Amino acid sequence: MKDKFYNYIQQLQDTITAKLEEIDGQAKFKEDLWKRPEGGGGRTRVIENGAVFEKGGVNISAVHGELPESMQKFFGVKNCDFFACGLSLVLHPKNPFVPTVHANWRYFEMYDTNGKIISSWFGGGQDLTPYYLFEEDAIHFHQTCKDACDKHHPDFYPQYKKRCDTYFWNTHREEARGVGGLFFDYLKDTDTLNMKDRYSFVTEIGNSFLKGYLPIVEKRKETSFTKEQKDWQEIRRGRYVEFNLIHDKGTLFGLKTNGRIESILMSLPPKVQWHYNHLPEEGSEEYKLVTILKNPKDWV
Amino acid sequence: MKDKFYNYIQQLQDTITAKLEEIDGQAKFKEDLWKRPEGGGGRTRVIENGAVFEKGGVNISAVHGELPESMQKFFGVKNCDFFACGLSLVLHPKNPFVPTVHANWRYFEMYDTNGKIISSWFGGGQDLTPYYLFEEDAIHFHQTCKDACDKHHPDFYPQYKKRCDTYFWNTHREEARGVGGLFFDYLKDTDTLNMKDRYSFVTEIGNSFLKGYLPIVEKRKETSFTKEQKDWQEIRRGRYVEFNLIHDKGTLFGLKTNGRIESILMSLPPKVQWHYNHLPEEGSEEYKLVTILKNPKDWV
């Protein structure tokens, strides 16, 4: 399964980066291959200063070795080896009317001292972070997520949509990072769903990503915007940084497993602002966004 | 002692903000008074878009109540009340040749269920984060710290200088946040130094702050700079954000004690950039700074 899934994400990285370059029309992804001293490595692809994407990364990695002590504690295991591979992407568009998007699909294995698999699971999801709210965009993104989920189980979309709202919650701000999407983890072998079913589900989600995001980019990328709207985008990007550095388990896992810092922190936006106590004017478009983020809703 | 120290930091806030307004010559501090629902509150003073200071805060607070559970665990106590007060300041200058500065002086008391003080201590320090290295500035700042320390104990400066280098270390980047200064904590009543001596030491340090920082501001604030040098400052500010959100115990304490978010996060710089894998050119002024940050040195 680990080879099968790693092959899948390699191909998916090619497909996604090719499509994104096409839609950007100006910038190309720059590729960095890296090795992790303790085992494994990755292929980082970053785009910067594009016509559409101000900064973005579409990275794959496959790392293995001894499970770091902090993770052993977390899982309540001892003397374990692990394998983890996944694709992570974050795109920060230039135009404040195009939302930022994040996605991640991953597979994890844990081994005992004889190299036997103790446990294996899939995880992942995708979520949208707009700077201005277009309800039709949020609905389209969620509908794509739901369609892909519904092919596998009617409970998946409502469950994983809810988990996404819970996970991407900036507790210290009491607001969501964005309008959500899907979040799932620890998808293991069960009586009703085996690992082949899980693989089939996760790849269905991965394959649906471009269908969910690209039409929104196409629709908004040429919209003209003011300096004030760009400032608002940069202020909101600050909340994105706060979430990723204070709360995000993926970022912390990367830092703890001696991951490649530049590949992990490629998720941070290119330009960010923090003003003291910035509050949008009541009734404004900016205010409308914040109101929705404080009260996550069902889009489909 | 708690009233005495709180009076001291109130006056110190007045002195410092008055001097900073004078040197800025353009912007004024905006004051916000706030209350903490569980007990206490603070006086936040923020300056923005000044001629010298792009953003900065000089805040005092005095909070009390039940010690939050996470802190009870940290200190290994149960059913404790606490009192904490302090002054925190961060200044982000506009000119990339003027260093960012941070300082904090604080006093903490813990009580048993009868309201009896179980333990009390002082903590604090100050440290300098330049974007370009002027050795004479680092030496001046450290000399001021050393002079203030030496009046109280010959071991203080070497000890607290070293702790500062250890504390403000961005582990994930393997570099210091800046060129350091002083960091001390848990200054308690001992056989040789009582709380009166501790008070006298901490206030000596607080009183020395302007002497350490202002001459550097005066000397560098008019230096002309290029867009590239401003970009470098904004990129390095990214490391400041990373330290504060990932590693800083003060920030985490604030978030855990339901502190006022805007007062805690006033420490974040106004404009920040993250580029993928940005490396300064070997031999450049930017490279010189990073080399020093990776190998903290003794300045005096």
Q: Between A147 and B260, where is the model more confident?
A: A147
DSSP-assigned letters across all residues of B125-180: EEEEE-SS--HHHHHHHHHHHHHHHHTT-TTHHHHHHHHHHHHTEETTTTEESSSE
Sign of the torsion formed by the C-alpha atoms of B282, A39, A123 and A9 = positive
pLDDT interval class at A191 (50, 70, 90): confident
Chain B environment of A234 (Cβ under 8 Å): 271
Query: Which residue, B2, B112, B103, B93, is CA-closest to B51?
Result: B93
Among the partner residues B172, B255, B270, nearest to A255 by beta-carbon distance: B172
Are B270 and B27 in contact by the 8 Å Cβ rule? The answer is: no
pLDDT interval class at A54 (50, 70, 90): very high
pLDDT interval class at B93 (50, 70, 90): very high
Chain-chain contact of B255 with A172 (C-beta, under 8 angstroms): yes
Q: How far apart are CA B40 and CA B36, in angstroms?
A: 5
Say what the pLDDT of residue B74 is.
84
- Chain A stretch 226-255, residues whose beta carbon is closer than 8 A to a beta carbon of chain B: 234, 238, 241-242, 245-246, 255
Q: How far apart are CA A148 and CA A120, in angstroms?
A: 23
Interface membership of A51 toward B (CB under 8 Å): no
User: CATH fold of B2-294, please?
Assistant: oxygen-dependent coproporphyrinogen oxidase (3.40.1500)
Helices and strands of chain B, counted as H and E runs: 9, 10
Say what the pLDDT of residue B275 is.
97
Nearest CA in chain A to B276: A266
Q: Can you tell me the mean pLDDT for A106-112?
A: 95
Q: What digits encode the pLDDT tens for the residues B130-174?
A: 999 999 999 999 999 999 999 999 999 999 999 999 999 999 999
Per-residue HEC secondary structure of A231-246 comes to HHHHHHHHHHHHHHHH
Helices of type H across B41-93 = 69-75
pLDDT interval class at B69 (50, 70, 90): confident
Say what the pLDDT of residue B147 is.
98
pTM for this prediction:
0.94
Where are chain A's structural domains?
2-294
Interface membership of B55 toward A (CB under 8 Å): yes
| pLDDT reading at A135 higher than 90 | yes
Chain-chain contact of A274 with B272 (C-beta, under 8 angstroms): yes
Q: Can you tell me the mean pLDDT for A189-205?
A: 94
Chain-chain contact of A262 with B277 (C-beta, under 8 angstroms): yes
Residue A27 DSSP SS3: coil
B92 is catalytic: no
| pLDDT reading at A142 higher than 90 | yes
Q: How far A253 CA sits from the closest chain B CA (Å)?
A: 12
Say what the pLDDT of residue A232 is.
98
Say what the pLDDT of residue B191 is.
87
Report the Cα A13 to chain-centroid distance in Å: 14
Interface membership of A65 toward B (CB under 8 Å): no
Q: Can you tell me the mean pLDDT for A58-67?
A: 94
Among the partner residues A55, A265, A276, nearest to B262 by beta-carbon distance: A276
Neighbour-count burial of A258, counting CB atoms closer than 10 A to its CB (0-12 exposed, 13-18 middle, 19+ buried): middle
Among the partner residues A55, A173, A246, nearest to B245 by beta-carbon distance: A246
Q: What digits encode the pLDDT tens for the residues A239-289?
A: 999 999 999 988 877 777 677 899 999 999 999 999 999 999 999 999 999
pLDDT over 90, % of chain B:
89
Q: Can you tell me the mean pLDDT for B210-231?
A: 98
State the average pLDDT for chain A.
95
Query: Which residue, A135, A133, A141, A129, is CA-closest to A237?
Result: A129
Chain B environment of A238 (Cβ under 8 Å): 268
Say what the pLDDT of residue B71 is.
82
Say what the pLDDT of residue A68 is.
84
Say what the pLDDT of residue A72 is.
87
Interface membership of A262 toward B (CB under 8 Å): yes
Say what the pLDDT of residue B283 is.
96
ipTM of the modeled complex: 0.93
State the average pLDDT for chain B.
95
Active-site option among B64, B92, B102, B247: B102
pLDDT interval class at B251 (50, 70, 90): confident
